Structure 1
Amino acid sequence: MQAYRLLTEEDTSAFCHKVTAALAQGWALYGSPAYAHDPATGKMRCAQAVVKDVEGDYAPDLKLGEL
């Protein structure tokens, strides 16, 4: 099965660390990053999709961050 996650964070080094941690855990980048203004906070936010091949079947209670 291929698992999918969308990582998001404010545009700070925390976002880069979040993506780097996912890559270190075997996730792979999927598509291009996105960058958008959050009008509620007035800050820019980043997003990056990642995928990972894992054993087993999909289940709605799957903890993606633990794969």
Structure 2
Amino acid sequence: MRAYRLLTEEDTAAFCHKVTEALSKGWELYGSPAYAHDPVSGRMRCAQAVVKEIEGSYAPDMKLGIL
């Protein structure tokens, strides 16, 4: 099964660390990153999709962050 996550964070080093951690756990980049202004906070936000092949079947209660 292929698992999908969308990682998001403010435009700080924390975003890069979040993506790097996912890559170190076997996730792979999927598509290009996105960058947008959040009008509520007044800050820029980043997003990056990642995917990972895992064993088993999909279940709605899966904790994708621990895969």
Structure-1-length-normalised TM-score: 1.00
Equivalences, count: 67
Find the aligned partners of 1:23 and 1:30 in 2 and give their Cα distance: 11
Partner of 2:39: 39
* Alignment RMSD (CA, Å): 0.2
* Per-residue deviation, 1:9: 0.1
Segments of 5+ residues of structure 1 without an aligned counterpart are: none
* Per-residue deviation, 1:13: 0.2
Segments of 5+ residues of structure 2 without an aligned counterpart are: none
Percent identical pairs in the alignment equals 79
Structure-2-length-normalised TM-score: 1.00
- C-alpha offsets along residues 11-57 of structure 1, whole Å, 9 cap, x if unaligned? 00000000000000000000000000000000000000000000000
* Partner SS for 1:30: strand
